[in-house]
Structure 1
Amino acid sequence: MSKEIFVAFATQKGGIGKTSVTVLVASYLHYVKGYNAAVIDCDYPQNSIMDIREREIKLISEDTYFKTLACNHFRKVKKKAYPVIASNPVDALDDAEQMLNEEEVRPDIVFFDLPGTLKSEGVVRTLAQMDYIFAPLSADRLVVESTLQFTSMFNENLMTTGIAKAKGLHLFWTMVDGREKSELYEVYEKVIAQIGLSVLKTSLPDSKRFRRDLSTERKTIFRSTIFPVDNALLKGSNIKELSDEICNIIKE
């Protein structure tokens, strides 16, 4: 990639997993696929990704097992952990620009984790500067209605008018319960297609592993800003498949 690409997982509904997906995809692309990633955590004031990074650094410094694991990991990948910058929607673009100018290795992909509401100051302005936006949604009527309202508004008022620079706006299913009828998703996708939006082929399952952070209680790793997903947990999570599909889109 000749120029960094700005990507956001955006939604108006909390609890849909956009922060977890941001971490998982960034880590997979950075540590496994060979891209150089960075994260601008502008979900102020909680800044959850920065909180994860700080807790991981503390755990690694205090736990011999994870300290050894980190040394071996970075020796193998031959690169540093990707930068995580704590910010807010108003300053996110400026902070990203400063980070890009200061990093020795310029990131290929910069992920932005934004608040789950367009009403927060600066959110629309920052989203308008994304190259690609991916919106998670679950098969819940309120979530679908809220997500379609957000994506339709953004597409019609900002993308088609040229105000937003986004080359693509895509939705994807998350928190998918294998017991749900596939017909339900087909009905929703027909509605989505009618308003001119597309849904990724990859969906993410409803699994507790998406909330599993680095911990002394568990030696297998899932959600981490410093390590890639453990292979045993990667299987069936669809993170690899989602990351690959996103890569294929942004490389077009």
Structure 2
Amino acid sequence: MKIISFATQKGGSGKSTLTLVLAAALAVDYKLKVAVLDCDYQQSIVKTRVQIDEESLQLLKESNPDATYPFDIFSIDLNGIFDFVDNPENDYDLVFIDVPGRADGDDVFNALTACDAVIVPLVADYLDRASTAEFMHILQTIKTEADKAEIPFEYFGISTKRSNNKEEQEMDDYVDALGLARFKSSLSYRAAYKRASTLYSLTTPAYLRYVGGDKNVSEEIHAVCNELIERMELPIKSVTE
């Protein structure tokens, strides 16, 4: 089991969207057994499933009684993360943890120590750059202690809402200067990502057309999934092009 959190100390960076987009694609296209732990106070991932996707699933069951969600979601308090990951019955290939967008308490810090990797969404504006620098100190502290204990822990940046302007290049240069390893792949600023689902993958052609996306969306998601699989040494079970 690999445990990954998309985390920042500033809201609005797209961490919950990243979690949804990648969880669905990795479960549907790559056949990984995925769980998402929604530990954020806003419970946006749980709400997406209950308030939006549950009705769609029931309609789908009318024609396909065996239809089900592609990955599991659990609403868990931050203090319950270790109980979940230490339970041998939870035999997932990959667990995503959606933590609150803050870093001002021991509960978030402790939750991040449960992870094999923390991925920091990077948004190109001044406030996000400053926030990223502060968050780096927290991750470096965890990395230092993990290395001493010989426990695997990595952290990376990934660009979200990318629009290929001057601020993006400034953000790239800033992150490189901080020494934060970055994903080569990224997600652009596209309306389709706002329609991320817990039932359908945005790489599924029918759903992609429904949300107004194009092949660039699918290509971006697959590029991020492939890089995540490589970096985290996840099992490759199947790939749907």
Answer with 25-34 or 86-95: which moved more: 86-95
Change (3 A) 1:69 1:96: farther
- 1:85 counterpart letter in structure 2: F
TM-score normalised by length of structure 1? 0.79
Uncovered stretches (5+) of structure 1, i.e. residues with no partner: 75-79, 213-222
Residue 51 (1) aligns with residue 54 (2): no
Offset of residue 34 of structure 1: 1.5
Counterpart mapping for 1:70-81 below 5 A: 81=70
Offset of residue 198 of structure 1: 1.0
- The residue that corresponds to 1:248 in the other structure is 230
Residue 5 (1) aligns with residue 2 (2): yes
- The residue that corresponds to 2:113 in the other structure is 128
Partner residue of 1:110 out of 95, 102, 114: 95
Partner residue of 2:125 out of 125, 137, 140: 140
Offset of residue 166 of structure 1: 4.5
Q: What is the RMSD of the two structures over their aligned residues, measured on CA atoms?
A: 2.3
Contact 2:16–2:45, Cα closer than 8 Å, also in 1: yes
Tell me the number of residue pairs that the alignment of Structure 1 and Structure 2 aligns. 222
- The residue that corresponds to 1:174 in the other structure is 160
Deviation digits for residues 158-188 of structure 1 (CA, Å, limit 9, x no counterpart): 212337845321001111124x13xx43443
Cα distance in structure 2, aligned partners of 1:81 and 1:225: 8
Identity of matched residues, %: 25
Residue 208 (1) aligns with residue 191 (2): yes
Contact 2:129–2:174, Cα closer than 8 Å, also in 1: no
- The residue that corresponds to 2:15 in the other structure is 18
- 1:115 counterpart letter in structure 2: P
Contact 1:10–1:135, Cα closer than 8 Å, also in 2: yes
- 2:61 counterpart letter in structure 1: K
Offset of residue 190 of structure 1: 3.2
TM-score normalised by length of structure 2? 0.82
Contact 2:57–2:199, Cα closer than 8 Å, also in 1: no
Answer with 161-170 or 138-147: which moved more: 161-170
- The residue that corresponds to 2:199 in the other structure is 226
Change (3 A) 1:131 1:91: same
- Residue 210 of structure 1 aligns to a residue whose secondary structure is helix
Contact 2:61–2:67, Cα closer than 8 Å, also in 1: no
Uncovered stretches (5+) of structure 2, i.e. residues with no partner: 235-241
